[in-house]
Amino acid sequence: MLADIFQQYNYAIVIILMMTGLYTVFSSRNLIKKLVGLSIFQTSVFLLYITIGKVANGQPPILEQAPGGGHGEDHAYTTKVIETVQVAAAGGGDFLTDIPYSNPLPHVLILTAIVVGVATLAIGLSLVVRIREVYQTIEEDRIDALDYAFNLEGTDTPKKAGAKA
Partner 1 sequence: MDITPYMPAWLFEHGAGFLIAVPLILAAITAILPNRKLAWWSTTAMTVILVIVAVALAQYEQINGLDIYRMGGWNPPYGISLVVDALSAPILVLIAGMAVMTMLYAMPATVAEVEPKKRAPYYAAFLLCMAGLMGMVITGDAFNVFVFLEVSSISTYVLVAMGASRDRRALVAAYNYLILGSIGATFFVIGIGFLYMETGTLNMADMARILTEMDGGSRVSMVAFAFIIVGLGLKLAMFPLHTWLPGAYAYAPTQVTAFLASTATKAALYLLFRFTFFVFNPEFDYVAATLTYLIVGLGVVGMIFASAQAIFQTDIRRAMAFSSVAQVGYMLLGLGIATTASVAAGYLHLINHAVIKGGLFLAVGAIWYRYGITRSVDFRGLSKTMPWTMGAFTLCGFSLIGVPFTAGFVSKVALADAAAEQGYWWAVGFIMLSSILAIFYVGRVLMIAYFQDPPIVDGKTVAKNEAPLMMLIPMWILALTSIAIGMNIFGASDIIVGASERAAEVLLSAGG
Instruction: Give the separation between CA 59 and CA 94, rounded to whole angstroms.
Output: 15
Q: Which of residues 31-70 bind partner 1 (CB under 8 A)?
A: 31, 34-35, 38, 41-42, 45, 48-49, 52
Among 73, 94, 141, 147, binds partner 1 (CB under 8 A): 147
Does 164 sit near partner 1 (CB under 8 A)? no
- State the angle between helix axes of 104-135 and 140-153 in degrees (0 to 180), rounded to the nearest 10: 70
Does 123 sit near partner 1 (CB under 8 A)? yes
Does 151 sit near partner 1 (CB under 8 A)? yes
CB of 138 closer than 8 Å to CB of 131: yes
The separation between CA 131 and the C-alpha centre of its own chain, rounded to angstroms, equals: 26
Using CA atoms, how far residue 107 sits from 10, 46, 98, 112, 125, in Å, is: 15, 9, 22, 9, 26
Contacts to partner 1 by CB under 8 A: 22, 25, 31, 34-35, 38, 41-42, 45, 48-49, 52, 105-106, 109, 112-113, 116, 119-120, 123-124, 127-128, 130-131, 134-135, 143, 147, 150-151, 153-162
